[in-house]
Amino acid sequence: MTVEAGQPFPNFTAQSQEGETVNLQALGENANLVVFFYPKATTRGCVRETTEFGQRQEEFAALGTKLVGVSVDDVGLQKDHAIQCSAGFPLLCDTDKSLTTELGILSERGMAQRTTYLVDRKGIIRTVFDNVAVDGHVDAVLQAVQQLPA
């Protein structure tokens, strides 16, 4: 199954890099969400992407938008990734691959495909960025957030 723009983002609860239970629906109350999936924590491209989102976190926050990273990695690897990237936002563990499967972004290698979802305050997917190239991606997502109604 593939989830597309205009559809609700699936409700999902998972552990963060801190071992806390995070529910995306609750996190997105009164906020837009940028939910970005990366294949493997602590690898070069994933570190770049997560670091770039973190460096722009204040710009997203000023637009009422929270950031959430997701991979199929466990809490320990996500914690290492968060430290390496100075991530000040949740990095969720889809270790059972339920969300990546539901979204249709689980690769043949058993990892998430690099995909980003822009979810509005009502929980509706407004934009899907698939087959993401890291270069320029954060800028493109920020532009899409700026186009959302206030």
Express each pLDDT in 9-48 by its tens digit. Answer: 999 999 999 999 999 999 998 999 999 999 999 999 999 9
pLDDT surpassing 60 at residue 1: no
Interval 89-145: pLDDT, tens: 999 999 999 999 999 999 999 999 999 999 999 999 999 999 999 999 999 999 999
Is the pLDDT confidence value at 149 over 80?
yes
pTM score: 0.96
What CA–CA distances, in Å, run from 67 to 107, 108, 109, 110, 118?
23, 26, 26, 24, 10
Q: Average pLDDT for residues 61-68, to the nearest whole number?
A: 97
Q: Are 113 and 71 in contact (CB under 8 A)?
A: no
Measured over the CA atoms of residue 86, residue 72, residue 119 and residue 52, the dihedral's sign is positive
Residues in the chain: 150
Topology of 13-146 in CATH? Answer: Glutaredoxin (3.40.30)
Distance separating alpha carbons of residues 26 and 10, to the nearest angstrom: 12
Calculate helix-pair angle for 137-146, 44-55, nearest 10 degrees. 40
Q: What average pLDDT does this structure show over 78-87?
A: 95
Tokens of residue 146, six digits: 């700026």
Average pLDDT over residues 42-62: 96
Instruction: Please report which confidence band the pLDDT of residue 66 belongs to, taking 50, 70 and 90 as the band edges.
Output: very high
Domain spans in the chain, listed from the N-terminal domain onward: 13-146
Mean pLDDT of the chain: 95
Separation of alpha carbons 29 and 72, rounded Å: 24
Confidence (pLDDT) at 2: 80
List C-alpha distances in Å: 140 to 22, 90, 118: 26, 21, 11
> Is the Cβ–Cβ distance between 121 and 103 less than 8 Å?
no
